[in-house]
Structure 1
């Protein structure tokens, strides 16, 4: 800090201030002896580790001490000036310290973020086999493609983040970019899981992963763009209507995707989040299953794996709540719920429906019991559907959504029925309750998870 001009005499009568200097340059007005002086026109960088200052109002180390014969009010003014000077000087000094500390914090934060990015890269490099993975994009490339993730390009918002439409400059092709929210529960592990699993899968009814990006602490996944959006946007909105032929083709396509995941690939893949919003439709309204953030690999023989509770209520099998096990059977349960959604044109839980229709499975099963299952058909179809197909899809939906996992069909059996290659199953007249099949020690918790009791969790979703 420069507190006086070069050549200015240090006169405490004319220039009443106190200077605390932390630097190395000796100005002409600096007192001789132990001091740290200013740099003048030169420049320097310093780090202050500690400092100490002691003084009294009667004692001064500055040259030109006041005369002992000074008037009392003059001394008082000078003392006041000293106090003010100390206050101002201290404030400036604190400001300098704050700037220094802020600089250290900024630098440390940049270093920490750079270290995190490097750690992420190392982790991903270990996880991804680069010679087989899709393309790695740069953040700038994807930001440009999505107009810097403009809301106008947003296709939807899920629990893990937003999905944006993008246009790649090089190939002039449209893409869908999933930007994982930084505050999302889907972290690096889930991001890596999705890339590792889906990038190895090749099936006409699975969304194709084009590339990925982890840069600037961002996690981005790049998919082929599905022009007709998600299945739920057509089933639950008035603006769009799928014909029955389209719906039945979607159900068959989803079944084909699950058959590939469960039985035809080299490892068994349990998706764990099958729902209508994760089923995308291409330009020809073919179904493509996406969002493998919760997917896991299990042994073909074992067929299940204990894990943390994950998925979407209404689509999750009852046993998931008590055993925390994900399995092919729990995926089949979710398939059954989607099959009923396709046929009925409604969500699994509908709080504003009549009391006996709030829970879709219970409502359709009761209609099955009295032989009027067709009354559950989506009224928007106006009766324009294939009766045999509709009946099969509804009964298959109930079969797959059976509370007892051991009484559900495999996805292969399901496809045979949908393709008219096997007869319809005969279900019990009354819908079994989950607690009827739970181990004795779990029956209390199981009964509290009946479909009727979880309806309140949904609100209007």
Structure 2
């Protein structure tokens, strides 16, 4: 894969120079199609509002039909976004040479003039945030069998990134809005704009903190040192969300129930985990398997990151290849502790970010470290970290 670090550190004089540098970087990537802006205008019917399927901090996403007949999700980066080029290059760098059943497929990109556009395969059933957790009208029935398929699929995709790809990849933004569903409800991990590559001789990377409150591993937020264990924490939260059918944070609930991970730990200690299973299932689920999934979620979110299992181990736990009954589960890194001690809310000033978009990024500004709550309150939190050094 091409390294873009040299581009990020330069202070270029003009748009022409920036375009030339970008073209040079992209020329080293062999497995990607370069589209013209005209092609994508035709595909989206001139970026018609009727074809708009999502909007996030880095721009808008449109559904379009390419000239080869394939439907595509066309992600147009906003020209106002200061982080747009960084995000654009990172996504291309990370996923141009990898392919897996549970990862989105990048078809290509457009780099004409000031245009920065990514072209992905189109996924018919949007994201988990929009469908399962969105709280709106959704005609998809998430049966227990479907939920287990989604949990295991996401785990396999993440295990592939962590352990099979060279160099290894840390996603850094595993959350419900970044899990997309195809026509068969097969999950696909999307949005690699915050991803980091792990060189062979390293286990962690130091970086500015970025991600989404509720999924963010506390140790990463405090020290700015991201490891694969941070992704595993995020997956643990997501796993519990899928089984319970609710967002990780919801300020509309009674105080003792607002933070899903804290609630899960309380019910685990009282041996009442089944009370957390989504009532939309109407009791049609495997009780033993549901309890196992909750426990796996707790194992993944343990406060001591060294105790969290690897993703390949998580896959085996989910499929029943590894018994977890003999596993000791320690207290998770709780979101309530994280918010009380380390986060200053700026909700009165914040503009709510919709979770309805299926191709949005989890952080609008890496420098300001703006973190977004996935709960119903949709408040933006500003994290004050003692770690401020960039890579």
* Same-fold call, TM cutoff 0.5: yes
How far does residue 323 in structure 1 lie from its aligned partner after superposition? 0.6
Gaps of 5+ in 1: 1-114, 437-444
SS at match of 2:283: coil
SS at match of 1:235: coil
Q: How does 1:347-362 map to 2 (within 5 A)?
A: 347-362=247-262
Contact kept, 8 Å, 2:170 with 2:195, in 1: the verdict is yes
How far does residue 234 in structure 1 lie from its aligned partner after superposition? 1.6
Partner of 2:222: 322
How far does residue 225 in structure 1 lie from its aligned partner after superposition? 0.3
Higher helix share: 1
How far does residue 120 in structure 1 lie from its aligned partner after superposition? 3.1
Contact kept, 8 Å, 1:177 with 1:222, in 2: the verdict is yes
SS at match of 1:232: coil
* CA shift in 2, pair 1:180/1:312, >3 Å: same
Contact kept, 8 Å, 1:149 with 1:164, in 2: the verdict is yes
CA distance in 2, matches of 1:335, 1:417: 14
Match of 2:45 among 134, 147, 160: 147
* CA shift in 2, pair 1:435/1:381, >3 Å: closer
CA distance in 2, matches of 1:387, 1:171: 47
When normalised by structure 2's length, the TM-score is 0.80
CA distance in 1, matches of 2:314, 2:202: 21
Contact kept, 8 Å, 2:298 with 2:332, in 1: the verdict is no
Point out the structure with max Rg over C-alpha. 1
Match of 2:143 among 231, 239, 243: 243
SS at match of 2:117: strand
CA distance in 1, matches of 2:45, 2:262: 46
Partner of 1:420: 320
How far does residue 341 in structure 1 lie from its aligned partner after superposition? 0.8
CA distance in 1, matches of 2:200, 2:284: 41
* CA shift in 2, pair 1:254/1:139, >3 Å: same
Partner of 1:167: 65
How far does residue 430 in structure 1 lie from its aligned partner after superposition? 5.4
1:337-358 deviations in Å (ceiling 9; x for gaps): 1101101111111001111110
Partner of 2:19: 121
Gaps of 5+ in 2: 1-12, 348-371, 379-391
SS at match of 2:145: helix
Match of 2:96 among 184, 187, 199: 199
SS at match of 2:188: strand
1:101-120 deviations in Å (ceiling 9; x for gaps): xxxxxxxxxxxxxx845323
* CA shift in 2, pair 1:398/1:301, >3 Å: farther
Match of 1:133 among 31, 42, 60: 31
Match of 1:283 among 183, 190, 193: 183
Match of 1:223 among 107, 110, 120: 120
1:308-354 deviations in Å (ceiling 9; x for gaps): 11111111100122111121000001111110110111111100111
Contact kept, 8 Å, 1:207 with 1:223, in 2: the verdict is yes
**Higher RCO structure (Cα 8 Å, ≥6 apart):** 2
Match of 1:212 among 109, 117, 128: 109
Partner of 2:77: 180
* CA shift in 2, pair 1:310/1:433, >3 Å: closer
1:401-438 deviations in Å (ceiling 9; x for gaps): 112211111111111110101111534475566999xx
1:127-162 deviations in Å (ceiling 9; x for gaps): 224461311011111112112222211111122221
CA distance in 2, matches of 1:321, 1:249: 31
Contact kept, 8 Å, 1:153 with 1:165, in 2: the verdict is yes
SS at match of 2:131: helix
Are 1:366 and 2:250 matched, yes or no? no
Are 1:405 and 2:305 matched, yes or no? yes
Paired positions, count: 336
Partner of 2:3: none
* CA shift in 2, pair 1:369/1:131, >3 Å: closer
Contact kept, 8 Å, 2:303 with 2:331, in 1: the verdict is no
When normalised by structure 1's length, the TM-score is 0.69
Are 1:395 and 2:295 matched, yes or no? yes
* CA shift in 2, pair 1:196/1:428, >3 Å: closer
